[in-house]
Amino acid sequence: MKKILAFVFVAASVAMFAVGCGPKKNGGDSKPAEVKEEVTIDLFVMSQCPYGVQAVDGFYPLLEKFGGQVGLNVNYIGQKKPDGSLSSMHGEKEVQGDISQLCAKEIAPSKKEYWAYMTCVNEKWREIPQHDAECATTAKLDAAKFKACTEGEQGKKLLSASFDLAKTKGATGSPSIFIGEERYSGNRSDKALEQYICNKFGKEKGLNYCNNMEPPAEVKLIAITDKRCGAPCDTSKMIQSLNGIFMGLKPTVMDWSDAEAQKIAKAANVTKLPALLFDGSVEKDDGGFKHMQRWLTKTGDYYLVKVKADFDPNAEICDNKKDDTGNGLVDCDDESCKNTLTCRPQTEKTLEVFVMSQCPFGAMAVNAMGEVLEAFGSDMDFQLHFIGNMAGDKISSMHGQSEVDENIRWACAKKLYPNNNDYLKYVWCRAEDYKNPDWKKCATGPIKAAAIEKCFNEEGTELLKEDIAIANGLGIGASPTWIVNGTTKFSGVTPKAIQDNFCKANAGLKGCDKPLSNDRASKAPAGSCGG
């Protein structure tokens, strides 16, 4: 029996299906006393997915500790084609491996033989189904029944039903886990799983193993929010998720109005909310700490959880009719509010789009503008802006430095060739082949490569910073994001979607009556880069 020391976290949905539980620890032919299964773990996997194999093997010692009071059900994830055939992510061999494992469960006289088979095939999972028959013999399964099931219709029916169940329950990632009918997405170390099961079901279900189990390490968490921020600063769901990772989590929620919250934020160099901060006690939960480490940043005496945090508690709140900064300027009169959606003036017949140059959705959106601009002509003032991040003077973007560089070139083209939107000839060319590093092939006609390169080296960075400031002021992080008439946001990538939203705010324009295409939606679903 393999011991899995660590698991790779795979976010997934989970579902249920009844099969066996763990093997008898010391073997032997005597029939064990019947133990009532009080808690069921439902596991969905793919037989040739390494993470699924690890999950199945990793549950063996856990089941033994609970002595039959906790059981494990294994089911499989895949697809049913229109013609009724079955497929799986890792190919036909995985489909056969899934069938063999379901057949082993179906014909095994007891859980002992079933788990003996699973242990055997998982030792050489990369070679599935090569050793399936051999493992059936090793596990003392009836060879004739095993062959009839795996090669006949019975096995296919079992797997078809398993795929149906996975689909119904939304289990798409291997492994997907339910414990007692509830989704489990926390740390999958033995200790974390034991603590979760005992905390949730130990007393209720009378789980014997839990009587002598040590309580989980106490982990202190401070969540700093701000009632002025509203929903974007709500930390309740984040804390709920962390509860599934740290069984001894002790959260304290503090509002920015509390002087102690501001003191802690200063000590941890926190400038944006919401903020989730662990103190040193997080290190005492070794499994949870290792699980979370990639999402933690050490800052002072705290560990800051990496979450989306955009609210500046020291800035003017632009719509609360108060002077939040004490400078005598209220809401939109404060200079810091000028780029916010609340304080922007209405500008008729304007359409702005905020993109990342190497985002596929952003590329589709700007390319759709060719048809839109042809329809509206001078009735539309179109403006292209860019999304990015600023850390001091350094600019970063979701798709790396190459995207920052291309954003600068787009900004330069916009500055150099504004007449009749000539700059879009370069933008459209690049958007069609945005992964190609050879940008100069798009500098044709009125667009001159030398001019763009000169701008890139001299003023391009400042041009991009100005645009990023606009996007950040508006709280825009998703590419593409559109704004009509200065104040109304929408999203979309097709000419028809753009036309519909523009015309809602600018009714009666001739361009609103022209039929525009909607076919780009078939190339990619509605979506965005970032958020």
Amino acid at 316: E
Residue 310 is predicted with a pLDDT of 84
Amino acid at 480: P
Q: Taking 50 as the threshold, does the pLDDT of residue 500 lie above it?
A: yes
Is residue 511 in a domain?
A: yes
- Is residue 40 within 8 Å of residue 94, measured between CB atoms? no
Amino acid at 477: G
What one-character DSSP code corresponds to residue 72?
E
pTM of the model: 0.56
Q: Taking 80 as the threshold, does the pLDDT of residue 522 lie above it?
A: no
478: containing domain: 350-530
CA–CA dist 167, 180 (Å, integer):
19
Name the token pair of 230.
């509203």
Verify that 402 and 470 share a domain, yes or no. yes
Is residue 3 in a domain?
A: no
- Is residue 381 within 8 Å of residue 349, measured between CB atoms? yes
Residue 286 is predicted with a pLDDT of 85
Verify that 227 and 272 share a domain, yes or no. yes
Kindly indicate the confidence band of residue 486, based on its pLDDT and cuts at 50, 70 and 90: very high
For residue 371, give every residue at least 6 positions away whose Cβ sits within 8 Å of its Cβ, in sequence order, or none.
Answer: 495, 516, 517
For the chain, the average pLDDT equals 88
CA–CA dist 45, 162 (Å, integer):
11
Verify that 370 and 516 share a domain, yes or no. yes
Residue 14 is predicted with a pLDDT of 27
Verify that 137 and 256 share a domain, yes or no. no
CA–CA dist 257, 67 (Å, integer):
51
Residue 526 is predicted with a pLDDT of 54
Mean pLDDT across 75-94 = 94
CA–CA dist 76, 171 (Å, integer):
9
Mean pLDDT across 162-185 = 90
With pLDDT > 70 as the criterion, what percentage of the chain qualifies?
91
Report phi then psi at 246, rounded to 5: -110, 105
Q: Taking 80 as the threshold, does the pLDDT of residue 384 lie above it?
A: yes
CA–CA dist 151, 157 (Å, integer):
11
Kindly indicate the confidence band of residue 21, based on its pLDDT and cuts at 50, 70 and 90: very low
Secondary structure (DSSP) of 250-298:
EEEEEETTSHHHHHHHHHTT--SBSEEEE-GGGGGSHHHHHHHGGGEEE
What one-character DSSP code corresponds to residue 421?
G
Mean pLDDT across 129-153 = 97
What one-character DSSP code corresponds to residue 140?
T
Q: Taking 60 as the threshold, does the pLDDT of residue 457 lie above it?
A: yes
Is residue 205 in a domain?
A: yes
Is residue 262 in a domain?
A: yes
Name the token pair of 238.
């984040």
Residue 276 is predicted with a pLDDT of 98
CA–CA dist 278, 301 (Å, integer):
9
Kindly indicate the confidence band of residue 17, based on its pLDDT and cuts at 50, 70 and 90: very low
Mean pLDDT across 513-518 = 93
Name the domain boundary from 190, 209, 228: 209
Secondary structure (DSSP) of 339-360:
TSTTTPPP-TTEEEEEE-TT-H
3-state SS assignment for residue 487: coil
Verify that 222 and 292 share a domain, yes or no. yes
Q: How many CB atoms lie within 10 A of CB 383?
A: 16
Three-state SS annotation for 184-230: CCCCCCHHHHHHHHHHHHHHHHCCHHHHHCCCCCCEEEEEEECCCCC
Name the domain boundary from 209, 239, 263: 209
3-state SS assignment for residue 458: helix
Amino acid at 97: G
Q: Which of 379, 376, 383, 311 is nearest to 354 (CA)?
A: 383
Mean pLDDT is highest, among 128-142, 165-179, 383-397, 515-529, for: 128-142
3-state SS assignment for residue 404: helix
- Is residue 216 within 8 Å of residue 255, measured between CB atoms? no
CA distances from 474 to 300, 349, 460, 463 (A): 31, 19, 22, 17
Q: What are the tens digits of pLDDT across the range 389-440?
A: 988 889 999 899 999 999 999 999 999 999 999 999 999 999 999 989 999 9
Residue 34 is predicted with a pLDDT of 64
Residue 177 is predicted with a pLDDT of 93
Number of structural domains in the chain = 3
Burial 213-222 (b: 16+ CB within 10 A, else e): beebbebbbb
Is residue 485 in a domain?
A: yes
Name the domain boundary from 179, 209, 239: 209
Verify that 221 and 201 share a domain, yes or no. no
Verify that 226 and 119 share a domain, yes or no. no
Is residue 144 in a domain?
A: yes
Q: What are the tens digits of pLDDT across the range 312-353?
A: 898 878 888 888 888 888 888 888 888 788 888 999 999 999
Residue 414 is predicted with a pLDDT of 96
3-state SS assignment for residue 515: coil
Verify that 440 and 297 share a domain, yes or no. no
Amino acid at 384: L
Verify that 496 and 435 share a domain, yes or no. yes
25 vs 101, which has greater pLDDT?
Answer: 101
Burial 414-448 (b: 16+ CB within 10 A, else e): bebbeeebebbbbbbbbbeebeeeebeebbeeebe
Mean pLDDT is highest, among 107-116, 210-219, 472-481, for: 107-116
Is residue 225 in a domain?
A: yes
- Is residue 352 within 8 Å of residue 482, measured between CB atoms? yes
Q: Taking 70 as the threshold, does the pLDDT of residue 524 lie above it?
A: no
ω into 360 cis (within 30 of 0): no
Task: Output the furthest CA–CA distance in the chain (Å, rounded).
Answer: 89
- Is residue 430 within 8 Å of residue 357, measured between CB atoms? yes
Is residue 33 in a domain?
A: no
- Residue 296 belongs to domain with CATH number: 3.40.30.10
Verify that 262 and 165 share a domain, yes or no. no
CA–CA dist 514, 374 (Å, integer):
10
